[in-house]
């Protein structure tokens, strides 16, 4: 559709209704990247899964493209996968799998309409899962629960549901129930059809979809006997004691549909994928920064920059900005405006992405994720729009708890050093702070978790050809202050080193060694502004 023939509102609404944009959240090692691959496999977007033998053999995982990820067998950055399923366009945004990268996960959750909460059958609700669920609740993102690894020994199904309800304060509503205990999975039964059991034959290594057959209730009784009867009794017990399925309650975050399966062996994954189509919401109106204002889906184009990543393609050393289309139609080459600056630019180089692979995109609709190549003016959290102005609320920064001074190992490569640090700051890999004491030649890197420093060290050496050293600083608390507070802090000189730093967005951060030091300063200076950033424990 050409720009001189704008899409009608009904056409945009129709296309938006076919989109499902979702993320997978979990604690590390719950099987998140394995599930991501299994979903793509069931949608026939890939022919075989890379998750063959867990971490040790996950060299080919589609969504883990960074060398550090392949070496360690974990996801440390978000990746976008787009594929089709049942005449719908599925936009799956994979998230970092380690707690140290919570800030990146938070940004991803600002760009999706639904989340799959992955729970390990043996470990239950773990710390990072609880934190990420809280973020979903805060952002109003409905959650589908998938209890994974049911082919291994684990806890009782009823016990896991009790934990979800008691710990998270959300009512689990089974859509699929396991036949057999964890470690003895005989099949699955759907709550909507208890006259049928789905039995699966695993494919060695989980590289392809498990072979599925459907048994009638009589056949299931003959084959499984008491195990089948127990599964039906448990399912009836849970359903009779709960509120039942309610789409409005799901979207309001009051209930969570629950599925059981095993991502590594591709059991139950097809049912989960169908549920995303059937249950997850399509893109809807998005709140603007102006109080009580929203951007309707069918209005002029608008998009949110939720991720920036450099060097996904080592051969080109370029930079890609991931944009969630929020309203209207995106057309490659169109002129859009960056709300923060009011300046416009042409979107000549636009791609859809599948892990590290790219395809030129001409047209995208609400819910789609577009990669803008070498859009150097963009920053994480930017709003892009065409036509009537739109600006979405800013993405808040997390409170860093780890600090280190960065210096180049080779002074002759200072240009590459400055470029690399600036790029990592723009991507949000770390927060980059500058102090008057050290200047921008030795910036202070601030991180939520120490593994972020490992990523910085790796990328500075391998992508920017400027190996660095990190001198860790004795701080673990950062608070936002103002010019008056800065003057007081400079006079106080609580400890030797940087007590006051400036972030690249000109926000002033006061650094403290611990809460006792900070409380002592507050008692002596009660009028000084010290505001908390978003806490990772929220």
Structurally, at CATH architecture level, domain 402-524 sits in 2-Layer Sandwich (3.30)
* In the block, residue with structure tokens 């067998």: 73
Q: What is the predicted pLDDT for the residue at 40?
A: 84
Q: Is 12:365 a contact under the CB 8 Å cutoff?
A: yes
* Residue 34 labelled as part of a binding site: no
* Residue 428 labelled as part of a binding site: no
Structurally, at CATH architecture level, domain 286-385 sits in 3-Layer(aba) Sandwich (3.40)
Burial-class residue 380 by CB neighbours within 10 Å (0-12, 13-18, 19+): buried
Q: What is the predicted pLDDT for the residue at 71?
A: 53
Q: What is the DSSP letter of 276?
A: H
Q: What are phi and psi of 298, to 5 degrees?
A: -85, 0
- For the chain, what are the domain ranges? 20-78+90-279, 286-385, 402-524
| Average pLDDT for runs of 10 along the chain of length 538 | 65 97 88 85 66 39 49 53 92 73 79 95 90 85 97 96 96 97 96 96 76 95 96 95 90 96 93 96 95 93 89 66 95 94 89 73 94 86 95 85 94 92 88 86 91 90 92 93 89 63 90 91 92 66
Dihedral angle computed from the Cα positions of residues 154, 159, 164 and 167, in that order, rounded to the nearest 10 degrees: -110
Q: Is 235:189 a contact under the CB 8 Å cutoff?
A: yes
* Residue 98 labelled as part of a binding site: yes
Q: What is the predicted pLDDT for the residue at 384?
A: 97
Record the tokens describing residue 187, joined without a space.
Answer: 């099949």
Q: Is 519 helix (H, G, I), strand (E, B) or coil?
A: helix
Q: What is the predicted pLDDT for the residue at 222?
A: 96
Domains 20-78+90-279 and 402-524 share a fold: no
Domain 20-78+90-279 part of CATH 3.40.50.300: yes
Q: What is the predicted pLDDT for the residue at 268?
A: 95
Q: CA 339, CA 373: separation in Å to the nearest integer?
A: 19
Residue 4 burial (CB count, 10 A): 5
């Amino acid at each position: 559709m050409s720009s001189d023939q704008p899409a009608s509102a009904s056409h945009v609404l129709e296309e938006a209704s076919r989109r499902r944009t979702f993320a997978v959240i979990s604690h590390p090692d719950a099987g998140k990247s394995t599930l991501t691959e299994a979903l793509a496999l069931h949608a026939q977007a890939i022919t075989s899964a890379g998750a063959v033998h867990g971490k040790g053999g996950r060299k080919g995982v589609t969504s883990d493209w960074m060398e550090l990820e392949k070496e360690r067998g974990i996801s440390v950055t978000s990746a976008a996968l787009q594929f089709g399923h049942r005449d719908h366009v599925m936009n799956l945004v994979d998230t970092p799998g380690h707690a140290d990268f919570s800030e990146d996960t938070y940004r991803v959750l600002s760009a999706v309409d639904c989340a799959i909460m992955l729970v390990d059958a043996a470990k239950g609700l773990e710390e990072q899962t609880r934190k990420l669920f809280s973020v979903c609740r805060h952002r109003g993102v409905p959650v589908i629960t998938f209890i994974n690894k049911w082919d291994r020994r684990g806890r009782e199904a009823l016990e896991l549901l009790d934990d979800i309800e008691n710990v998270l304060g959300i009512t689990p509503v089974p859509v699929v129930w396991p036949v057999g205990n964890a470690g003895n999975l005989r099949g699955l039964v759907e709550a909507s059809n208890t006259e049928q059991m789905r039995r699966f034959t695993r494919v060695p290594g989980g590289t392809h979809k498990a072979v599925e057959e459907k048994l009638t209730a009589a056949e299931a009784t003959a084959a499984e006997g008491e195990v089948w009867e127990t599964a039906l009794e448990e399912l009836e017990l849970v359903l009779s004691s709960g509120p039942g399925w309610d789409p409005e309650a799901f979207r309001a975050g009051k209930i969570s549909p629950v599925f059981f399966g095993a991502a590594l062996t591709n059991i139950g994954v097809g049912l989960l994928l169908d549920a995303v189509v059937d249950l997850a919401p399509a893109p809807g109106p998005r709140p603007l920064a102006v109080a009580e204002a929203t951007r309707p889906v069918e209005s002029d184009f608008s998009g949110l920059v939720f991720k920036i990543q450099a060097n996904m393609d080592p051969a080109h050393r370029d930079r890609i900005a991931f944009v969630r289309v929020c309203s209207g139609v995106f057309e490659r080459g169109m002129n859009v405006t960056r709300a923060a600056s009011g300046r416009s630019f042409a979107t000549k180089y636009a791609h859809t992405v599948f892990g590290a692979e790219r395809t030129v995109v001409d047209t995208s609709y609400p819910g789609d994720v577009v990669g803008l190549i070498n859009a150097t003016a963009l920053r994480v959290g930017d709003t892009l729009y065409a036509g009537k102005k739109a600006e979405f609320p800013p993405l808040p920064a997390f409170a860093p708890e780890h600090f280190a001074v960065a210096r180049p190992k080779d002074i002759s490569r200072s240009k590459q050093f400055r470029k690399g640090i600036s790029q990592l700051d723009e991507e949000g890999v770390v927060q980059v702070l500058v102090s008057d004491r050290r200047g921008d030649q030795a910036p202070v890197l601030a991180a939520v978790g120490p593994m972020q420093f490992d990523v910085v060290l790796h990328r500075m050496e391998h992508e920017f050809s400027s190996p660095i050293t990190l001198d860790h600083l004795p701080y673990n608390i950062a608070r936002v202050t103002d010019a008056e507070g800065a003057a007081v802090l400079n006079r106080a000189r609580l400890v030797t080193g940087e007590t006051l730093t400036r972030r690249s967005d000109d926000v002033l951060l006061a650094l403290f060694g611990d809460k006792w030091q900070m409380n002592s300063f507050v008692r002596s200076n009660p009028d000084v502004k010290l505001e908390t950033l978003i806490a990772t424990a929220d």
